[in-house]
Every structure is written in C-alpha cells, then in structure tokens.
Amino acid sequence: MKITLPKLKFKISETVKDALSITLLFLAWRGALFLVAYFGYFDIAPANGNYLIKEIHPAISMWLVYDYGWFKDIVAKSYDFSRHSMAFFPLWPATIWLFSKIFYFVNTHIIAFVLANLITLADCWIFYKLVQLDYDKDTAYRSVKYFLFFPMSLFLASAYSEPLFLLGVLSSFYFIRKQQYLLSGFGGIIASASRLVGSIMLLPLVIEVIKQKITKENWWKTLGILIAPLGLLGYMYFLKTNYGDCLGFLHAYQNSDWNRGYGYNAFNLFWNDIKIIFSFHGFGPSKDYVDAMMTTGSVLVMLTVLLSNIKKIRLSYFVYAILIMLVPLFSNSLDSLNRYVLPIFPFFMVLGILGRRKWVDSLITVTFLVLLGLFTVMFINRWWVG
C-alpha cells in the first residue's frame, strides 16, 4: 500500500514528490487516528471518568493525558512544584514554553499538540532520507509506513517527548552519514536533552566515525560529535544550580507511584516474562500473559528481527538499538517498555526491506493497524497501554 500522487500537467522535482508522498502518508495516519480516537472515546466509557480539558476541542483534549500533565505543569511552574517532575527532561517543555510565548494568542495545549505532530512529520521525512542512504525509495517509504503504523506510534500523535527525541536521534545519524559532524552533534544534544536514554548517542556516533574513511586532514571535524552529551550535562548543571541535585532525574523516581528506581531487578522481571510467554497454554483469561506480550514480547520481536537481519543494517544502528533496549532495564521496572522501544528505527528499516514481498507487507500492515487502533482507543480512554 502506497499513497501516490495524481498525475500533474506540470513537472515537479523528485524531492518535492517524495515530500508530498510522505506528507500524504502522515496525514492519512493522523486522520485515521483522529477518527478512531473520536468515535472510540464517545462510544466507550473512559477508565477514570471524563477528563477532557474544557477550553479546547475534545478531538485534541482526549490526546493530552498521562505524561502530558507533567509537561504542562513544568511549562507553567518549571520544576518547583514537585521533585518527581525532574524525571522529565527539559527540552520538550522548554520548546512548548518558547512557542507559547511566540504564539501567545494560541492556547498552550493546542501549541503542544500541533508541535508534536509537526515534529513527527519532520521525523518521517528525515527517516525517509536516512533509509535512502542505503536503500531504494520504495524501501524507505515502507520503513516510514511501518514506523507510523507501529502500535505504539500513537504516542507520536500525543504531546509526549518522543517526537522531539526522535528528531534528535534521526538527524544525528543522518548528518553523521553525510559527514556533517557538528550538525550530528547538535542532533545528539536534542536527544540527550529530551530523554535520559539520549545519553547513549555518543557511542554509536563514535562507532560510525570509526567505520568511515576519515583523512588525516579532516579528522578534527569529527570532534563535533563530542557535543552530543551536552543536553544531559546542561540539565545536570541546571538541577545542581537550582535544586542542589545534579542527579535529580534519577532520584525523582524514589517514593513515587511509578514503581521505578535503578538496579537490575527488571532483568529478573524480563526473564520471568519470557517464561510466561513460552508457557502458553491457550488463549485463556491471563492478564499476566497479555502484559508480558505487550512489554517483553515487543522487545523480543524487535531483537529477533534485528539479529536475524544484522547484516542488513550498520553496526552503529545495531548498537544504538541494543542500548535503547537495555537502558530501561536498569530502572527496576518493565512498565512502558513497549513505548520505550518506539525510537528503534533500525527495526523499521529491516521491516522495510522484508516488506518487498507483498505477503510480508500485508501481514505487517494489517497486524500493526489492528493493534494501533486497539491501543489508541485504550489510550484516549485512559486505559494503560505504555
């Protein structure tokens, strides 16, 4: 399935055609999510009653749930209202705050929602260009399609920090492939200032530099990637200066309702989930089995696909994917693990390659869309999905 442009009497460049094609795919995805969410909300009772923000339209308000409440409060009060808020990195709320000042006549909630979706569109375009560095246009298009149809992509449609984090990650990899190292470093700053897991970006970037053929005259240009961790370091400096705790984002989980910390217990939970998954005894009413499939199962699927096709992706991409999987396991919890693996773009690249076979393309598309529709209805009704 590919959304194609109608034949036009005038000529347009291939770049414009590609951009329009990706934009149409994005709009189709966003429009479908709007319809599913709108009818799903008003036909199914929300888990915790009506929670819509009264000053904006329900079609937008229904998406602004869970973590958005933290970002909203950080925009309004910085980190003063709760130590737990320090778990949420500053770049996304800072971006909302900046645009709310520029467009002061627009409701802040609407600004956050529109920004997140526009950044997601930018993510799709950069991802498309990144895949094209190694594969053809059709493979790149399928990769973006699977990325948008992925069941957890609903978080890209909400006002979460995932779109901004992905913008940093994808731009960082794209620019380092183009040997524009300083711009790659700036992408790393965006990633490391958006989420804690962004702190891992420097390692795959270094691996990518090592794999490239750098002349002695130009080696100094590669030092630009060393600025990638500045997002994290800047946040640590801010927390130390204002709150006396440079590791406040780690300590924020203590005595909270998130059931998180830092340690190795999640590895035990992960292994227990694996045993639950492989002890399948039929489709009986087992919440433990469903939970294990949603969290650990999603990681196992990604890991299997990547390992079985490891020769099809670059080493830097593979290392990045493994680190994205590993970091959440040091939080003593598997909660939201299925959402945390959403930024593993190499997985969607591999699917884009495998999707050359029509039956594989159909299988992935139908499976992803069914689950995306289900999880969207659950999410907007405040049923926990990730």
Residue with the larger pLDDT of the pair 265 and 146: 146
Sign of the C-alpha dihedral computed for residues 160, 118, 204 and 305 taken in this order: positive
In a domain, residue 2? The reply is no
In a domain, residue 5? The reply is no
Work out the mean pLDDT of the chain and round it to a whole number.
Answer: 90
Q: Return the pLDDT at 323.
A: 97
Averaged over 379-383, what is the pLDDT?
86
> For the segment 320-357, what is each residue's pLDDT rounded down to a tens digit?
999 999 999 888 888 888 899 999 999 999 999 999 99
In a domain, residue 85? The reply is yes
Q: Return the pLDDT at 255.
A: 65
Q: Return the pLDDT at 92.
A: 98
In a domain, residue 127? The reply is yes
Q: How confident is the model at residue 185 (pLDDT cuts 50, 70, 90)?
A: very high
Q: Which residue has the tokens 């500053």?
A: 90
> Rounded to an integer, what distance in angstroms lies between the CA atom of residue 218 and that of residue 224?
12
- Statement: residue 149 has pLDDT above 90: yes
- Statement: residue 10 has pLDDT above 60: no
In a domain, residue 338? The reply is yes
Tokens of 153: 């992509």
Tokens of 27: 């709009």
The helix (run of H) or strand (run of E) holding residue 167 is: helix 162-177
Q: How confident is the model at residue 96 (pLDDT cuts 50, 70, 90)?
A: very high
The count of domains in the chain is: 1
Query: Is-above-0.95 flag for pTM?
Result: no
Beta-carbon contacts of residue 156 (< 8 Å; ≥ 6 apart): 116, 117, 120, 123, 148, 162, 163, 166, 342
Contact between residue 192 and residue 203 where contact means Cβ atoms under 8 Å apart = no
Averaged over 174-192, what is the pLDDT?
97
Q: What percent of the chain has pLDDT over 70?
A: 92
Tokens of 145: 């399609």
Q: Which of 6-10, 133-137, 142-146, 377-381 has the lowest mean pLDDT?
A: 6-10
Q: Return the pLDDT at 267.
A: 87
Q: Return the pLDDT at 220.
A: 84
Q: Which of 119, 112, 44, 48 is nearest to 76 (CA)?
A: 112
Q: Return the pLDDT at 260.
A: 72
The CA distances from residue 67 to 248, 281, 384, in Å, are 18, 35, 12
Q: Which residue has the tokens 């990769």?
A: 143
In a domain, residue 7? The reply is no
Q: Return the pLDDT at 314.
A: 96
Q: Return the pLDDT at 54.
A: 79
Of 83-87, 239-243, 265-269, the range with the highest mean pLDDT is 239-243
- Statement: residue 293 has pLDDT above 90: no
Q: Which of 53-57, 67-71, 107-111 has the lowest mean pLDDT?
A: 53-57
- Statement: residue 110 has pLDDT above 70: yes
Residues spanned by the domain of 363 = 14-380
Q: Return the pLDDT at 330.
A: 86
Q: Return the pLDDT at 138.
A: 96
In a domain, residue 1? The reply is no
Q: What is the residue-wise DSSP string for 137-156?
A: HHHHHHHHHHHHHSGGGHHH
> For the segment 23-66, what is each residue's pLDDT rounded down to a tens digit?
999 999 999 999 999 888 877 766 666 677 878 888 899 899 88
> Rounded to an integer, what distance in angstroms lies between the CA atom of residue 201 and that of residue 189?
9
Q: Return the pLDDT at 8.
A: 53
Contact between residue 60 and residue 109 where contact means Cβ atoms under 8 Å apart = yes
Q: What percent of the chain has pLDDT over 90?
A: 67
- Statement: residue 283 has pLDDT above 80: no
The CA distances from residue 10 to 13, 16, 229, in Å, are 10, 13, 47
In a domain, residue 178? The reply is yes
